[in-house]
Amino acid sequence: MDDADFLIVGGGVYGTALAYEIVSTGSSVTLVEADRLATRASGGPGKRGVRANGRNSRELPLVHEALAQWPSLSELLGAETGFERLGGLMLVDSAPEQGEIGWARAEAHQRLQATFGLASRLLARDDLAALEPGVAPSAAGALFNPDEGIADQRSTALAYAAAAGKLGASIRESSPVLDINPGSRPAVRLRDGTTLRARRAVVLATNHGTNALLERSAMPVLPLWTMAPQVLMVQAKDDYQPRHLVGHLAKTLSVKPLSDGITMISGGMRGRWDPRTNTGRPVDASIGESLDVAASVFPALAGGALMTADAGSPETYTPDGLPYLDFLDADRRIFVATGWHGHGFAIAPAVARHAADWLTSGRRPDVLAPFRIRLR
C-alpha cells in the first residue's frame, strides 16, 4: 500500500499539470501512467496550437488566462515548453457583397472574444496579405489574435512532470491501472498487483482510456468517443512556410510553421482508430483531401513533399462539444478530466490550476461549472 492525498491516473499534459498544481498546494500526489509520459494525445509529432479562435464561449475565460500563462510557463516550470507567440489567424473566404456569412461569423466571434478581454481583431484583405503574404486571393480577411502561438505538447507535459517531481510528487511510468475500487478511500490496482490508495480523490486524466477503465471497474461509462486526428508534415518547395498559426472559419484546416522548416497540417481530418488495439493510422483519402485544402489556402504548399502522416494520438470527444470536468455521480471521490475535442492543450495550464483549487479546497470554481457531467 502506498497512500497519497491524490492519485492521478494518466501522464499526458492534464495528468502532469494537475500533479504540479496539486502538489504546489502542499497536498501529496502519486501519478501513474500506463506507458511513458506524454505518448498519447500529448505526444506525437509536431506542435499544438495555443489558440482562442473558434472556441465555445464557456472556454474563453480559460483561454484568456492560459494565453497570459504560456509566455512565462517555461520559466515557472524550469524547463522548455517550446511556446512561440506567432499570432493566430482564422481566415474568412467570403466577402459580404457575395451574400455569404463568413464575415458575419467572424465579426460575431470577434465581438464575443472582445467581451472576454481577448485581443482579437478583424483584418481586411490588404492587412491580411501584408501579415501573411502567401495566403490565396480567395481569403477575404481574417480574425487575428497576436497572443496565439504554438507549443510543444511533449516538452510541456515533461516540464510539468519534472516540476511536480521536484516538489515531491511520485511519478510511476509503465504502470497501467487495471481497475478502481471506489469507497471512502478509493484505490487503484496496477497490473503488477500493487494497490495504491487515495486519501482525498482519484483523478482520471486518462483521455481515451477513461471509459475502458470505468467499464473494468464496473462503473457507468460516460457519453464520449475516441477519434485519431490526422497530422501531416510537409516540406514545401522553395522552403516556403506560412508565418502564423492559421485556421479557417469554414475549412477543416490548421497550419503550423515548425522551426525545422516543415509545415504541419491538421485541423480535424481523421485517421482510422482501432479500439481493439488502441492504435490509429492515417487514411489515404483524407491525406489527399487535407493537402488539397491546405494548397487552396496556401498555393505554395501545393506539390510539397509529404514527410510524415500520423494518426497515432487518440483524442476524446463529447456530444456537447465541451469537456467533462467533474466528480462522478457513482463516486464523489473519483474526478474525471477528459473530452478535450482536439483543443485541450492550449487551456491546460488554466484548467489545471482551477481544477487543483477545486480538488484541494472542495469548492468548484465558477469558471469550471459549465463542464459538469450532466447525465440527467
Question: Binding residues for ligand FAD, per CB under 6 A?
Answer: 9-15, 32-35, 39-42, 44, 48-49, 153, 176-177, 205-209, 213, 229, 231, 254, 266, 313, 315, 340, 342-346
Residue 230 C-beta: closest distance to ligand FAD, Å: 7
Nearest 5°: the CA angle 305, 308, 311 is: 140
Cell of 64: 484568456
Cell of 203: 483523478
Residue 346 C-beta: closest distance to ligand FAD, Å: 4
Closer to ligand FAD by CB, 23 or 140: give it: 23
Kindly list the distances between the CA atom of residue 371 and the CA atoms of 130, 204, 229, 329, 376, in Å, as whole numbers in the listed order. 40, 15, 23, 14, 14
Residue 178 C-beta: closest distance to ligand FAD, Å: 7
Report how far residue 330's alpha carbon sits from residue 3's, in angstroms, rounded to the nearest whole number: 22
Closer to ligand FAD by CB, 32 or 140: give it: 32
Closer to ligand FAD by CB, 125 or 272: give it: 272
Residue 203 C-beta: closest distance to ligand FAD, Å: 11
Annotate 283-342 with DSSP letters as a single string.
-HHHHHHHHHHHHHH-GGGTT-EEEEEE----EEE-TTSS-EEEEETTEEEEEEEE--TT
Residue nearest to ligand FAD (CB): 12
Closer to ligand FAD by CB, 240 or 340: give it: 340
Report how far residue 161's alpha carbon sits from residue 205's, in angstroms, rounded to the nearest whole number: 14
Residue 39 C-beta: closest distance to ligand FAD, Å: 6
Closer to ligand FAD by CB, 125 or 243: give it: 243
Kindly list the distances between the CA atom of residue 332 and the CA atoms of 20, 120, 181, 202, 219, in Å, as whole numbers in the listed order. 22, 39, 13, 10, 12
Closer to ligand FAD by CB, 228 or 295: give it: 228
Annotate 174-209 with DSSP letters as a single string.
S--EEEEE-SSS-EEEETTS-EEEEEEEEEE--GGG
Residue 285 C-beta: closest distance to ligand FAD, Å: 18
